[in-house]
Copies of this chain bind each other. A is one copy, B any other.
Amino acid sequence: MTQTPTKPLLRALAGERVAPAPIWLMRQAGRYLPEYRALRAKAGGFLDLCFTPDYATEITLQPIRRFGLDAAILFSDILVIPWALGQPLRFEEGRGPVLEPIAPDGLDRLEREGVVERLAPVFETVRRVKSALPPPTTLIGFAGAPWTVACYMIEGGGSKEFLKAKRWALGAPDRFQQLIDLLVVATVDYLSAQVEAGAETLQLFDSWAGVLSETELERWSIAPLQRIVEGVKARHPSVPVILFPRGSGLGYARFAEASGADGLGLDTTVPLRFAAELQKQITVQGNLDPAALVTGGRALEEGIDRILSALGAGPFIFNLGHGVVPETPPEHVAALIERIQRTAA
Protein backbone atom coordinates (compact mmCIF):
# COMPACT_ATOMS: atom_id res chain seq x y z
CA MET A 1 0.00 0.00 0.00
CA THR A 2 1.57 3.26 -1.11
CA GLN A 3 1.18 6.30 1.11
CA THR A 4 0.59 9.73 -0.37
CA PRO A 5 3.85 11.62 0.11
CA THR A 6 3.91 14.85 2.11
CA LYS A 7 7.46 16.11 1.44
CA PRO A 8 7.48 18.67 -1.42
CA LEU A 9 10.10 16.85 -3.52
CA LEU A 10 8.30 13.52 -3.24
CA ARG A 11 4.97 15.14 -4.08
CA ALA A 12 6.49 16.58 -7.26
CA LEU A 13 7.88 13.13 -8.15
CA ALA A 14 4.40 11.69 -7.61
CA GLY A 15 3.25 13.93 -10.48
CA GLU A 16 1.87 16.78 -8.41
CA ARG A 17 2.39 20.45 -9.15
CA VAL A 18 4.03 21.88 -6.04
CA ALA A 19 4.32 25.61 -5.31
CA PRO A 20 6.84 26.96 -4.54
CA ALA A 21 8.80 24.48 -6.65
CA PRO A 22 10.96 22.11 -4.59
CA ILE A 23 14.65 22.80 -5.14
CA TRP A 24 17.97 21.04 -4.73
CA LEU A 25 21.20 21.42 -6.68
CA MET A 26 23.51 18.84 -8.15
CA ARG A 27 26.86 19.16 -6.27
CA GLN A 28 25.15 21.31 -3.64
CA ALA A 29 27.73 19.89 -1.22
CA GLY A 30 31.19 20.72 -2.45
CA ARG A 31 34.12 22.98 -3.06
CA TYR A 32 32.17 26.25 -3.41
CA LEU A 33 31.35 26.03 0.34
CA PRO A 34 34.06 27.23 2.77
CA GLU A 35 32.88 24.70 5.37
CA TYR A 36 33.46 21.90 2.83
CA ARG A 37 36.95 23.17 2.00
CA ALA A 38 37.78 23.34 5.70
CA LEU A 39 36.71 19.74 6.26
CA ARG A 40 38.46 18.60 3.07
CA ALA A 41 41.73 20.12 4.32
CA LYS A 42 41.48 18.12 7.55
CA ALA A 43 40.57 14.79 5.95
CA GLY A 44 42.69 12.46 3.82
CA GLY A 45 41.86 11.84 0.17
CA PHE A 46 38.53 12.18 -1.56
CA LEU A 47 37.66 8.50 -1.12
CA ASP A 48 38.22 8.83 2.63
CA LEU A 49 35.54 11.53 2.64
CA CYS A 50 33.14 9.16 0.89
CA PHE A 51 33.88 6.18 3.11
CA THR A 52 34.03 7.87 6.52
CA PRO A 53 30.44 8.32 7.76
CA ASP A 54 31.47 11.19 10.07
CA TYR A 55 32.78 13.18 7.13
CA ALA A 56 30.22 12.14 4.52
CA THR A 57 27.31 12.86 6.87
CA GLU A 58 28.66 16.29 7.76
CA ILE A 59 29.28 17.20 4.09
CA THR A 60 25.82 16.01 3.05
CA LEU A 61 24.24 18.19 5.73
CA GLN A 62 26.30 21.35 5.17
CA PRO A 63 24.16 22.85 2.38
CA ILE A 64 20.96 21.89 4.21
CA ARG A 65 22.04 23.82 7.29
CA ARG A 66 23.15 26.81 5.27
CA PHE A 67 20.29 27.04 2.76
CA GLY A 68 17.40 24.81 3.82
CA LEU A 69 17.00 23.04 0.50
CA ASP A 70 14.18 20.57 -0.21
CA ALA A 71 16.54 17.63 -0.54
CA ALA A 72 19.88 16.38 0.67
CA ILE A 73 21.83 14.18 -1.71
CA LEU A 74 24.15 11.60 -0.22
CA PHE A 75 27.78 12.70 -0.49
CA SER A 76 29.56 9.94 -2.36
CA ASP A 77 30.88 9.24 -5.85
CA ILE A 78 29.62 7.25 -8.82
CA LEU A 79 32.93 5.35 -8.93
CA VAL A 80 32.45 3.57 -5.61
CA ILE A 81 30.89 0.71 -7.58
CA PRO A 82 33.99 -0.02 -9.70
CA TRP A 83 36.00 0.33 -6.48
CA ALA A 84 33.73 -2.20 -4.76
CA LEU A 85 34.13 -4.50 -7.77
CA GLY A 86 37.84 -4.51 -7.04
CA GLN A 87 39.09 -2.00 -9.62
CA PRO A 88 41.89 0.16 -8.14
CA LEU A 89 40.75 3.79 -7.92
CA ARG A 90 42.34 7.00 -6.68
CA PHE A 91 41.52 10.68 -6.95
CA GLU A 92 44.34 13.02 -7.98
CA GLU A 93 44.25 16.71 -7.11
CA GLY A 94 43.38 18.70 -10.23
CA ARG A 95 43.04 15.58 -12.40
CA GLY A 96 40.03 13.79 -10.96
CA PRO A 97 39.50 10.03 -10.77
CA VAL A 98 42.15 7.64 -12.01
CA LEU A 99 41.33 3.94 -12.41
CA GLU A 100 43.42 1.08 -13.69
CA PRO A 101 41.66 0.69 -17.05
CA ILE A 102 39.83 -2.56 -17.61
CA ALA A 103 40.02 -4.49 -20.91
CA PRO A 104 37.54 -7.11 -22.22
CA ASP A 105 39.71 -9.93 -20.85
CA GLY A 106 39.74 -8.32 -17.40
CA LEU A 107 36.02 -8.76 -16.80
CA ASP A 108 36.43 -12.06 -15.03
CA ARG A 109 38.73 -10.55 -12.43
CA LEU A 110 36.00 -8.25 -11.10
CA GLU A 111 34.69 -9.36 -7.70
CA ARG A 112 30.94 -9.60 -8.18
CA GLU A 113 30.25 -10.96 -4.71
CA GLY A 114 30.36 -8.73 -1.66
CA VAL A 115 29.81 -5.41 -3.42
CA VAL A 116 27.14 -4.23 -1.01
CA GLU A 117 29.14 -5.43 2.00
CA ARG A 118 32.19 -3.44 0.90
CA LEU A 119 30.02 -0.32 0.60
CA ALA A 120 28.66 -0.59 4.17
CA PRO A 121 30.05 2.83 5.23
CA VAL A 122 27.86 4.48 2.58
CA PHE A 123 24.71 2.98 4.09
CA GLU A 124 25.83 4.06 7.54
CA THR A 125 26.08 7.62 6.17
CA VAL A 126 22.58 7.33 4.71
CA ARG A 127 21.22 6.24 8.10
CA ARG A 128 22.91 9.08 9.95
CA VAL A 129 21.84 11.74 7.45
CA LYS A 130 18.29 10.46 7.47
CA SER A 131 17.98 10.78 11.23
CA ALA A 132 19.48 14.29 11.17
CA LEU A 133 17.36 15.80 8.39
CA PRO A 134 14.53 18.25 9.09
CA PRO A 135 11.14 16.60 8.44
CA PRO A 136 10.30 18.26 5.08
CA THR A 137 13.71 17.47 3.57
CA THR A 138 13.95 14.46 1.25
CA LEU A 139 17.03 12.24 1.22
CA ILE A 140 18.27 11.37 -2.29
CA GLY A 141 20.48 8.34 -2.87
CA PHE A 142 22.33 7.93 -6.14
CA ALA A 143 24.53 5.88 -8.43
CA GLY A 144 26.17 6.26 -11.82
CA ALA A 145 24.46 4.80 -14.86
CA PRO A 146 26.10 1.69 -16.33
CA TRP A 147 27.26 3.41 -19.55
CA THR A 148 28.95 6.26 -17.68
CA VAL A 149 30.51 3.97 -15.07
CA ALA A 150 31.70 1.61 -17.84
CA CYS A 151 33.31 4.58 -19.62
CA TYR A 152 35.34 5.43 -16.53
CA MET A 153 36.25 1.77 -15.99
CA ILE A 154 37.51 1.38 -19.57
CA GLU A 155 39.08 4.79 -20.16
CA GLY A 156 40.62 4.85 -16.69
CA GLY A 157 39.27 8.35 -16.06
CA GLY A 158 37.62 11.18 -17.93
CA SER A 159 37.91 11.32 -21.72
CA LYS A 160 37.15 13.59 -24.64
CA GLU A 161 36.19 11.03 -27.25
CA PHE A 162 35.50 7.86 -25.17
CA LEU A 163 37.16 6.00 -27.98
CA LYS A 164 38.22 2.96 -25.94
CA ALA A 165 34.74 2.53 -24.47
CA LYS A 166 33.04 3.01 -27.82
CA ARG A 167 35.40 0.64 -29.62
CA TRP A 168 34.64 -2.04 -27.09
CA ALA A 169 30.89 -1.39 -27.31
CA LEU A 170 30.94 -1.32 -31.11
CA GLY A 171 33.54 -3.99 -31.74
CA ALA A 172 32.72 -6.56 -29.03
CA PRO A 173 29.11 -5.80 -28.10
CA ASP A 174 28.46 -9.19 -26.44
CA ARG A 175 31.42 -8.76 -24.11
CA PHE A 176 30.43 -5.14 -23.46
CA GLN A 177 26.93 -6.33 -22.63
CA GLN A 178 28.45 -8.58 -19.95
CA LEU A 179 30.07 -5.53 -18.32
CA ILE A 180 26.81 -3.58 -18.51
CA ASP A 181 24.85 -6.55 -17.08
CA LEU A 182 27.26 -6.84 -14.18
CA LEU A 183 26.88 -3.10 -13.47
CA VAL A 184 23.08 -3.35 -13.66
CA VAL A 185 23.08 -6.09 -11.00
CA ALA A 186 25.56 -4.29 -8.73
CA THR A 187 23.69 -0.99 -9.10
CA VAL A 188 20.29 -2.49 -8.25
CA ASP A 189 21.80 -4.06 -5.13
CA TYR A 190 23.61 -0.86 -4.16
CA LEU A 191 20.58 1.40 -4.65
CA SER A 192 18.25 -1.01 -2.87
CA ALA A 193 20.59 -1.01 0.12
CA GLN A 194 20.53 2.80 0.10
CA VAL A 195 16.72 2.69 0.20
CA GLU A 196 16.83 0.18 3.05
CA ALA A 197 19.12 2.56 4.94
CA GLY A 198 16.75 5.49 4.45
CA ALA A 199 17.08 7.00 0.95
CA GLU A 200 13.64 8.21 -0.15
CA THR A 201 14.34 8.69 -3.85
CA LEU A 202 17.23 7.78 -6.15
CA GLN A 203 18.98 9.57 -8.96
CA LEU A 204 21.02 7.85 -11.68
CA PHE A 205 23.66 9.99 -13.36
CA ASP A 206 24.38 9.15 -17.00
CA SER A 207 26.90 11.94 -17.45
CA TRP A 208 28.18 10.62 -20.79
CA ALA A 209 24.87 9.71 -22.41
CA GLY A 210 25.49 12.64 -24.74
CA VAL A 211 28.28 10.98 -26.70
CA LEU A 212 26.20 8.09 -27.99
CA SER A 213 24.44 7.74 -31.32
CA GLU A 214 20.73 6.98 -31.27
CA THR A 215 21.23 3.20 -31.60
CA GLU A 216 23.95 3.03 -28.96
CA LEU A 217 21.98 5.29 -26.60
CA GLU A 218 19.05 2.90 -26.82
CA ARG A 219 21.19 -0.13 -26.07
CA TRP A 220 23.75 1.15 -23.57
CA SER A 221 21.90 3.92 -21.74
CA ILE A 222 18.11 3.59 -21.97
CA ALA A 223 17.86 -0.21 -21.77
CA PRO A 224 20.16 -0.70 -18.73
CA LEU A 225 18.57 2.24 -16.89
CA GLN A 226 15.15 0.80 -17.56
CA ARG A 227 16.33 -2.52 -16.04
CA ILE A 228 17.69 -0.72 -12.98
CA VAL A 229 14.42 1.18 -12.46
CA GLU A 230 12.53 -2.10 -12.76
CA GLY A 231 14.92 -3.96 -10.46
CA VAL A 232 14.81 -1.35 -7.71
CA LYS A 233 11.04 -1.02 -7.93
CA ALA A 234 10.61 -4.80 -7.73
CA ARG A 235 12.12 -4.56 -4.24
CA HIS A 236 10.87 -1.09 -3.28
CA PRO A 237 7.75 -0.35 -5.33
CA SER A 238 7.12 3.09 -3.89
CA VAL A 239 10.59 4.60 -4.32
CA PRO A 240 10.65 7.18 -7.11
CA VAL A 241 13.64 7.22 -9.47
CA ILE A 242 15.11 10.22 -11.31
CA LEU A 243 17.31 9.78 -14.39
CA PHE A 244 19.82 12.37 -15.52
CA PRO A 245 20.99 11.39 -19.02
CA ARG A 246 23.06 14.53 -19.54
CA GLY A 247 23.44 15.75 -23.11
CA SER A 248 21.05 13.22 -24.59
CA GLY A 249 19.24 15.97 -26.53
CA LEU A 250 16.54 14.46 -28.68
CA GLY A 251 17.01 11.22 -26.77
CA TYR A 252 15.24 12.77 -23.77
CA ALA A 253 11.88 11.96 -25.34
CA ARG A 254 12.79 8.27 -25.28
CA PHE A 255 13.73 8.39 -21.60
CA ALA A 256 10.36 9.97 -20.83
CA GLU A 257 8.41 7.33 -22.70
CA ALA A 258 10.47 4.17 -22.19
CA SER A 259 12.51 4.26 -18.99
CA GLY A 260 9.84 3.74 -16.35
CA ALA A 261 11.41 6.52 -14.24
CA ASP A 262 9.43 9.07 -12.23
CA GLY A 263 11.64 12.09 -12.87
CA LEU A 264 13.92 13.26 -15.65
CA GLY A 265 16.85 15.61 -15.01
CA LEU A 266 17.29 18.05 -17.89
CA ASP A 267 20.67 19.51 -18.78
CA THR A 268 21.12 23.20 -19.55
CA THR A 269 20.67 22.83 -23.31
CA VAL A 270 17.14 21.39 -23.21
CA PRO A 271 14.70 23.97 -24.66
CA LEU A 272 11.93 24.86 -22.24
CA ARG A 273 9.07 24.31 -24.66
CA PHE A 274 10.31 20.77 -25.25
CA ALA A 275 10.71 20.32 -21.48
CA ALA A 276 7.08 21.35 -21.03
CA GLU A 277 6.09 18.64 -23.52
CA LEU A 278 8.07 16.03 -21.56
CA GLN A 279 6.30 17.22 -18.43
CA LYS A 280 3.05 15.76 -19.75
CA GLN A 281 4.63 12.33 -19.31
CA ILE A 282 7.06 12.73 -16.44
CA THR A 283 8.20 15.08 -13.65
CA VAL A 284 11.03 17.21 -15.00
CA GLN A 285 13.97 18.60 -13.04
CA GLY A 286 16.40 21.32 -14.07
CA ASN A 287 17.92 23.17 -15.84
CA LEU A 288 19.52 26.48 -14.93
CA ASP A 289 23.00 27.03 -16.37
CA PRO A 290 25.55 26.70 -13.52
CA ALA A 291 27.29 29.68 -15.15
CA ALA A 292 24.20 31.83 -14.46
CA LEU A 293 24.51 30.89 -10.77
CA VAL A 294 28.15 31.97 -10.83
CA THR A 295 27.28 35.21 -12.64
CA GLY A 296 24.35 36.21 -10.41
CA GLY A 297 22.40 39.45 -10.84
CA ARG A 298 20.08 39.90 -13.78
CA ALA A 299 21.34 36.84 -15.66
CA LEU A 300 20.46 34.67 -12.68
CA GLU A 301 17.05 36.27 -12.12
CA GLU A 302 16.06 36.05 -15.78
CA GLY A 303 17.26 32.47 -15.99
CA ILE A 304 15.20 31.47 -12.93
CA ASP A 305 12.07 33.30 -14.09
CA ARG A 306 12.22 31.81 -17.58
CA ILE A 307 12.35 28.28 -16.17
CA LEU A 308 9.64 28.85 -13.58
CA SER A 309 7.27 30.40 -16.06
CA ALA A 310 7.79 27.57 -18.57
CA LEU A 311 7.70 24.63 -16.15
CA GLY A 312 6.14 25.84 -12.91
CA ALA A 313 2.62 24.84 -13.89
CA GLY A 314 3.39 21.12 -14.07
CA PRO A 315 5.23 18.54 -11.94
CA PHE A 316 8.62 20.16 -11.55
CA ILE A 317 11.76 20.22 -9.40
CA PHE A 318 14.09 23.19 -9.69
CA ASN A 319 17.76 22.31 -10.20
CA LEU A 320 20.75 23.27 -12.29
CA GLY A 321 21.43 21.70 -15.68
CA HIS A 322 24.75 20.38 -14.34
CA GLY A 323 26.60 20.49 -11.00
CA VAL A 324 27.42 23.60 -8.94
CA VAL A 325 30.93 24.73 -9.94
CA PRO A 326 33.60 25.68 -7.35
CA GLU A 327 33.59 29.33 -8.50
CA THR A 328 29.96 29.78 -7.32
CA PRO A 329 29.46 32.43 -4.60
CA PRO A 330 27.33 30.82 -1.84
CA GLU A 331 25.27 34.03 -1.61
CA HIS A 332 24.08 33.47 -5.17
CA VAL A 333 22.71 30.11 -4.07
CA ALA A 334 20.87 31.86 -1.22
CA ALA A 335 19.46 34.41 -3.69
CA LEU A 336 18.33 31.62 -6.01
CA ILE A 337 16.47 29.81 -3.24
CA GLU A 338 14.88 33.00 -2.01
CA ARG A 339 13.62 33.84 -5.50
CA ILE A 340 12.17 30.36 -5.98
CA GLN A 341 10.41 30.46 -2.64
CA ARG A 342 8.97 33.89 -3.37
CA THR A 343 7.38 32.55 -6.54
CA ALA A 344 4.63 30.50 -4.99
CA ALA A 345 1.85 31.64 -7.30
A306 within 8 A of B: yes
On whether the beta carbons of A214 and B291 are closer than 8 Å, the reply is no
Instruction: For residue A198, give the distance in angstroms from its CB to the closest CB of chain B.
Output: 33
- Docked complex Cα distance between A287 and B249 (Å): 15
- Docked complex Cα distance between A327 and B163 (Å): 9
On whether the beta carbons of A210 and B269 are closer than 8 Å, the reply is yes
Which B residues touch A166, using CB under 8 A? 289, 291, 295
Given A161-B290, A163-B325, A250-B274; A269-B211 close (CB under 8 Å):
yes
Given A171-B295, A294-B163; A271-B250 close (CB under 8 Å):
yes
- Docked complex Cα distance between A162 and B249 (Å): 19
Give the most central of A272, A295, A306, A327: most B CB within 10 Å.
A295
- Docked complex Cα distance between A317 and B154 (Å): 33
- Docked complex Cα distance between A268 and B163 (Å): 13
- Docked complex Cα distance between A272 and B274 (Å): 18
Give the most central of A216, A303, A327: most B CB within 10 Å.
A216
Instruction: For residue A269, give the distance in angstroms from its CB to the closest CB of chain B.
Output: 6
Residues 275 to 300 of chain A near chain B (Cβ within 8 Å):
287, 289-292, 294-295, 297, 299
A212 within 8 A of B: yes
Instruction: For residue A301, give the distance in angstroms from its CB to the closest CB of chain B.
Output: 11
On whether the beta carbons of B294 and A213 are closer than 8 Å, the reply is no
A247 within 8 A of B: yes
- Docked complex Cα distance between A170 and B211 (Å): 27
Which B residues touch A325, using CB under 8 A? 161, 163
* A303: nearest chain-B partner, CB-CB: B213
Besides A163-B294, A250-B269, 20 other CB < 8 A contacts? A161-B291, A162-B291, A163-B327, A166-B295, A167-B291, A170-B292, A170-B295, A171-B295, A171-B299, A211-B268, A212-B268, A213-B268, A214-B271, A214-B272, A216-B289, A247-B269, A248-B269, A249-B249, A249-B269, A249-B270
